[in-house]
Structure 1
């Protein structure tokens, strides 16, 4: 590290100041110290720092006050909180106030060195924010669009990327929560480290502890060799816990401890292993409701939800559809080694009118199907090529059901007044009901057809037949 890097250590305990000064000095930093808020303010008025470490309790106030002042006055100076061992509430409050990270007393030097290394790896101050306001290049596979919702999302990502605080990503299925997590990782100080995504709903409950924390050889039947877990695989980088709501309660307890203590104990091991990971989590469910129902631990929710990031559904940013569709078609056509067709005005209008319950994932599926069925030399795809579901209103479905009091007996499907007009629309109406139910089951089961068939109460073969019949890919 360059000799130009400098740090400010704020702590009223002389021994702590000397330990941190010695440790940071060996890392090539020049260190100034302060024993109170007032002394820290004086130092900050005279000197700009690349890093600040502050104790929680100071003789003339709280370290939270100092964090707030640094965030307001020096937004590009990472500041970390020194907390008492096990004081999770203080650590969370510090992160919410804008702290880069926290370290517990007694200070573990390996953890401290990792924190400092990540803090000083942050990009130049203006780079992430500036990059966040610019739309990515077409076909880059990143967050595409110029809608206000996307511009605001990218700006927020640029801010949270500079922190080590856990981020809870909330959004419907198919909006791109993993893409948001990857973007946070790539814009942050851990970009050079691994990004490890894991679907919590895809791991059998009996294997979860081994998968997350690893195991030692011989610890259980089938453990023929030592195996590192997901936490160890993400060491120095980011662990993305997708569908976090699917974790069983016993595993939630163990995950909470791993996050708080920054250590894991492999199955069958006698000692714990220190891990340095940033936790990002996501779900399409409402975790607050899960907490209220007792299906998700309040303390784990409190620890994960330091920063909440909502990803808007596609229907809230329809102005991004042309850019998204063009990028997806270009990628798909490149994979198939064929020219990329354009979408006609009628196709774009049809997409804009579609509600997209499956969001970007559904858009990808629609375009992949349209491209597969189109002629290889087609230059334009029209609305008919998209084969979008017909809105219920167009199939004769009533806008709203009649009041129960007005219909003491079931109404006939066909009356003399109807002239038989309802009959031809009935098959289409039933198909739309089936399509909606199947799409809902697929989305809730992350497109696992076996699980979706079980939820729908039909066989896998019947589901496969209906998918083919309804044109659902």
Structure 2
């Protein structure tokens, strides 16, 4: 039996184009010219897909989107907008539309959208969501809520702006949105926007033609082409140069790119997910980020909570991280004493899950007898007051200092203090630090403290 589509538009030419295109894809169409006819059709049968124009004689496409979201949530609905009417498209996406197409309709864009929509299956998504619990670990309310939002966002093509502190797992969240969605069989392409030299950004994003500039000895595919049919994740998007922001906005709106040195545009079908630890709205106010691009990326905002807001998940995370580290290092998984777990649960974790991973990796080196004790963690003397408010005197890190190097500095200082207090007697210093002489020698070499 063929798939069923509901097509809603009061323009005969659009109805004919859509029904012919869908019929060529073995999809049977039911047509409606207004909201009333569409509502009646939805009551009479179920549909695998719906297209609706935004302007209808007795209402608008948003009415259809909201009705389907409320009463027929398993039916993806795409809206048809006038060319350049991005505001209405964004409003439709926020209301729950799967995607949008602009007039005049491009057949390739239309077919790509249909294929993505039909790849969605409630059962498949449910199974994938169950497996995602193994990746986004936690049983607290905030993590359950996050997983639920991820599942809903996976059924859309709307751009998602992922916010949260450094180390919370924003790329992991982006990957899950991709893996649970209709694009999971295609590529997930992450890019750190702050890591590309300004003069190479356009070429990295859109590719280039041979001879486009000095050093362009052959054609090169860009990241948009690499992600075609899949998802492009723009990490640290706030670091994009302003000139590139203009070109990115156009690529997103037109769903087309032009390689550097090329004469023709090429259609691309990518879903855009973005993230940054910066306050992007503040970047807009300061003139560092284009407001129109901000609203195009920030169609839906998804907040990833810091670790301190889900302390009850820490024991589960510790167990998982230790298993991973032991496997990676070819070692037996160490145990961890109760006092150490309690200390971790009371710590503020300014570096979030990434800091927890670093602390545990360091503790495995310090530990003796395959058991991690509280002192092996080497935590700063700070505690959490509650789940939201802290009275913590944390050192200020410069933008050029990452968490790992900061932790190494702390470790180095502790070792130097112990050595100085024992007049550089390494055996006595190791005893004072509560580690073996072998572990101390390893640390001295790693931290460049060896005499």
TM bucket normalised to smaller: 0.7 to 0.9
Distance 1:319 1:466 in 2: 27
Aligned position for 1:260: 253
Q: Which residue of 2 aligns with 1:428?
A: none
In the other structure, the counterpart of 1:157 is: 150
> Which residue pairs with 2:376 in the alignment?
385
Match of 2:133 in 1: 136
Length, aligned pairs only: 412
State the partner residue of 1:327.
320
Structure 1 SS opposite 2:116 = helix
Query: Are 2:357 and 1:364 aligned?
Result: yes
The Cα shift of 1:65 comes to 0.6
> Which of 167, 173, 181 is the equivalent residue of 2:160?
167
Q: Is 1:316 the equivalent of 2:314?
A: no
Q: Counterpart of 2:398 in 1: which secondary structure?
A: helix
Q: Displacement, 1:373?
A: 2.5
| Shift in Å, 1:112 | 0.4
Q: Could you say which residue in structure 1 is the equivalent of 2:290?
A: 297
SS in 1 for 2:273: strand
CA shift, 1:152, in A, is 0.3
Alignment of 1:12-411 (within 5 A): 12-123=10-121, 125-128=122-125, 132=129, 136-137=133-134, 142-375=135-368, 377-378=369-370, 380-391=371-382
Contact kept in structure 1, 2:237 and 2:276, CA below 8 Å: yes
Provide the residue aligned with 2:395 in structure 1: 436
Task: Quote the offset at 1:246 in angstroms.
Answer: 0.8
Once the two structures are superposed, what CA deviation does each residue of 1:219-248 show, in whole Å capped at 9, x if it has no partner?
000000000111111000000000011112
Do the aligned residues in 2 keep the contact of 1:133 with 1:154 (CA within 8 Å)? no
Using the TM superposition, give the Cα deviation of residue 273 of structure 1 relative to its aligned residue in structure 2, in angstroms. 1.1
Which consecutive residues of structure 1, in runs of 5 or more, have no partner in the other structure? 394-398, 401-431, 453-462
CA distance in 2, matches of 1:197, 1:86: 28
Whether the aligned pair in 2 keeps the contact of 1:129 and 1:159 (CA below 8 Å) is no
The Cα of 1:96 is off from its aligned counterpart by 0.6
Q: What's the TM-score, normalizing by structure 1? A: 0.83
In 1: Cα distance, 2:175 partner to 2:274 partner: 12
Q: How big is the shift at 1:93?
A: 0.8
Distance 2:166 2:317 in 1: 17
Distance 1:344 1:152, change over 3 A: same
Shift of 1:392: 9.6
Q: Deviations over 1:285-318 (max 9, x none)?
A: 1111111222111110110011100000000000
**Distance across 2 between alignment mates of 1:49 and 1:464:** 58
Any unmatched runs of 5+ in structure 2?
385-389, 416-442
CA distance in structure 1 between the aligned counterparts of 2:318 and 2:124, rounded to whole angstroms: 28
TM-score (norm 2): 0.87
Mapped partners of 2:404, 2:244: distance in 1: 23
